[in-house]
Amino acid sequence: HAGVLPNALRVLRVDRPNVHVALYNLSSAEQLEGLRQRSLDIALVSEPPVADDPDLLGFQVLDDPMLLALPEHHPLAQQPTLRAEDLADQEWIGVQHRQNCASREDFISACIRAGFTPDIRMEATEPFTALGLVASGLGIAMIQKGLSRNAPPGVVLRDVPWISFTTPLWAAWHRINLRPLVETFRKVLTEPVSSND
């Protein structure tokens, strides 16, 4: 997600080169439960713990804008300006994130607000699959800007700022910290860093 985790791990390694880190790919609900059970120290989730959660705290670390992913030979790929009506009759690949069930509905709502309803012909369970389908010429999709460096050959990415749709990311942790290293890593994740984008 836009390098949030790798960047934080790099900073942590400078201060603590011998620290052991185990990473798990879990849904947001599984991660929050892991924090409650104390089997996880920090979680990166698409939906934060509720504001009055007795055990957990969260902090938004990213609000990633979206880019339009087009097959490189698509007629819109080289068009200088894209408008809502250009996207209305296209075949879309929806991305149904397993961590955020509302993401599909949020995407459709953002398109409707922009002036068109997407014709979703395929669904991918994660953005890298969607990018592969786009590269194969099977449709167009919206992808987080933070993943743009991972776009495969055959995909053209375009800004469409008039679609107000972003992908948020929160760090979450237990209110009672039992390990100083966890607090150090939490600060690395939640303190703003300068970006050279």
pLDDT digits (tens, 9 = 90+) for 60-82: 988 888 899 999 999 999 999 99
pLDDT band at 156 (very low <50, low <70, confident <90, very high): very high
Q: What is the pLDDT of residue 102?
A: 61
CA distances, 137 to each of 75, 121, 124 (Å): 11, 13, 14
Could you tell me the pTM of the whole model? 0.75
Residue 98's identity, in one-letter code, is R
Of the candidate ranges 29-38, 49-58, 93-102, 161-170, the one whose mean pLDDT is the lowest: 93-102
pLDDT > 90: what percent of the chain?
Answer: 47
Q: Is the pLDDT of residue 93 over 90?
A: yes
Burial classification of residue 132, based on how many CB atoms lie within 10 Å of its CB (0-12 exposed, 13-18 middle, 19 or more buried): middle
pLDDT band at 1 (very low <50, low <70, confident <90, very high): low
Tell me the per-residue pLDDT of 126-144, one tens digit each, with 9 for 90 and over.
888 999 999 999 999 999 8
Helix axes 4-15, 180-190, angle to 10 degrees: 130
If one compares 125 and 97, the residue with the highest pLDDT of the two is 125
Q: What is the pLDDT of residue 136?
A: 95
